[in-house]
Amino acid sequence: DALRLILRYAFDELNLHRVGLDVISSNARAIRTYEKVGFQHEGTMRSAVLRDGSRHDRILMGILRHEWQDQKPGRNPEQEAIL
């Protein structure tokens, strides 16, 4: 999927330590997608967005390199600790 490809590029090619984003709290579908690939909630900016006459929170999310690496398929962290 596109989000996993972007994260792989960010961590494996650009050698980034952290990737962050913010999303409007009313976008539940996006929040679930980000959580599914490993993003963690890092904070909330209350009433930070005015959209269609309504105020919404901005949810701050992030994922660290080791969190991304820990969820890669076929990876065995216990085996790596032995090596």
Per-residue pLDDT tens over the stretch 33-56: 999 999 999 999 999 999 999 999
The runs of H, that is alpha helices, within 1-83 are 2-8, 28-36, 65-70, 77-82
The residue ranges of the chain whose pLDDT is under 50 are 79-80, 83
pLDDT given for residue 74 in this prediction: 62
DSSP state of 50: E
Its pTM stands at 0.83
Confidence (pLDDT) at 76: 53
Per-residue pLDDT at 30: 97
**39, 26 Cβ separation under 8 angstroms:** no
Residue 15: its pLDDT value, please?
97
